[in-house]
Amino acid sequence: MKIRVEPSFVITLITLFLTNEAKFVFFMLFSAMVHEVGHIVVLSLFKVRIKALVLGLFGGTLVLEKKLISYKREALVSLSGPLVNLIFSALFFVILRRGFLPDIFFLFLSNLSYGVFNLLPISSLDGGMALVALLATKKELYDAEKTASSISRITLFFLAVISLFLVSLSAFNISLLVVTLLFYAESCEGHIISGYEFCRKTS
């Protein structure tokens, strides 16, 4: 498996390091890493070869060699990354119950947020791809994608409202709003910028 690094990933790392919180950057990278490992493990169980891991703005994209997987398996692959994050957050929570440790708390929080956020039914996230796959088991792919796209736009709208509310509270933190706008732009162009490359059924 080849690993490709996009310029956006390097820019993101540099920006995070400039915050003088390098330790937390590594913690976030750890959460992203275990997320991708979840996808890789399930793909390996389904004997799907991974050609490359592309590191981009919002994480990794797995480029697959085999395109024909059942829709149910596609949904499992999509959900495996967030599930691993939630499992790790649960493990860190158990550790925290024995005594509060700042680093463990941040690992708990980063895995929880990474897992929950990726479960959102947004077309470029794992939740959105799982939704398309599950809908495609009941209806034609075109109709499934159309329905999932509508749900994605509605989710992005509410996410934008929440982000604007947070901006009004913080007066300067616009990070969630920027992320929401980027997701909206990507969904309009039909690009996949995180998770894994969606496997369309062609037969």
Q: Where are the domains of the chain?
A: 2-196
Question: What are 118-142's pLDDT values in tens digits?
Answer: 899 988 789 998 999 999 989 888 8
The model's pTM:
0.75
Nearest to 149 by CA among 203, 188, 91: 188
Number of other residues whose CB lies within 10 A of the CB of residue 177: 16
Contacts of 10 (CB under 8 A, 6+ apart): none
Question: What are 62-108's pLDDT values in tens digits?
Answer: 777 766 578 888 899 999 999 999 999 999 999 998 888 888 998 99
